[in-house]
Amino acid sequence: MSFVDKFVAEILTLQVAVYHAHARLESRTDSEALHDLRIAVRRIRSLLKPFRSMNEVVALGDAAAEVGRQTTPARDLEVMIQELEERGFVKQAQSRASRLGSSYDEIVKGSSIKNLLIQLDDWPSRFRLVEINGGLKPIQPQIKKTLRKQIDRLHAAVDDVQFDRHELRILVKRTRYLTEAFPELSPLSRDAARSLKELQSALGSWHDHYQWCQKALVETDLRPLEQTWLSSATSALEKAEAQLVDLAQQLPKLSGKKKLP
């Protein structure tokens, strides 16, 4: 199977995953449906990133990005409810559950997910036409170039102690997802990929607790947890800072001039 065949097959596999997660979310079969939908969408976006300037993939990439944006508040609310339940704040969790149900309805019935499903159906024929016309011959070099640029941006950010940690979290996520989409073409070693995943986890925990602290300032029923979350956010950030040192040692050398994102 050629690289292009594998690439198309991967998108088609993710298309099935999107349909499956959407159906589960619509029927409320389990609590992981939205999470699985977002994972599939994220992987589609990562696979398409090296070709974001190609007209034949722009519509699909934009549709996937829109679903990602639309589902973020609902996913954040899911995580918040789980946190409240685990800490025994059942009343606070229940008061947010109905809001989550309404968010689910908006997602499954909304135009964004419908457009994504349409674009997933239409995309393969357009992409294959590019292949027939010889437009995909440089596909692997283009992917390697995109990976190299992304890792260079991460390298520069990791080396900058003043770099905003919120922006770093996003950069780490994007680098990890892109590397996971094309592991055989990435210059990252297994150790570097592991360090990247661990750093994302620590920064993600910090970000969640930080956001919850911000919510506690305006949602008074969350006030009893404010100091607990603040402590957890501090611990997570300290852990992330230590992991930054490890990642800096694992990253490959810069390919050129340092460029911050």
The label of the residue with tokens 């198309």 reads 8
Q: What is the pLDDT of residues 226-248, one digit of tens each?
A: 999 999 999 999 999 999 999 98
The model's pLDDT over 85-141, given as tens digits with 9 standing for 90+, comes to 999 999 999 999 989 999 999 999 999 999 999 999 999 998 898 888 888 888 899
Which residues belong to CATH 1.20.120 in the chain?
A: 1-137
Class of domain 138-253: mainly alpha
From residue 160, alpha-carbon distances to 63, 124, 130, 157, 193 in Å are 34, 41, 41, 5, 20
Could you give the residue range(s) of every CATH 1.20.1440 domain in the chain?
138-253
**pLDDT over 70, % of the chain:** 97
Q: Are the beta carbons of 153 and 214 closer than 8 angstroms? A: no
The set of long-range contacts for 193-202, using a CB threshold of 8 Å and a minimum separation of 24, is: 195/243, 195/246, 195/247, 195/250, 196/172, 196/247, 198/243, 198/246, 199/172, 199/240, 199/243, 199/244, 199/247, 200/169, 200/172, 200/173, 200/176, 202/236, 202/237, 202/239, 202/240, 202/243
Structure tokens, 148 = 């190299």
Q: Average pLDDT in the 12-40 region?
A: 96
CATH fold of 1-137, please?
Four Helix Bundle (Hemerythrin (Met), subunit A) (1.20.120)
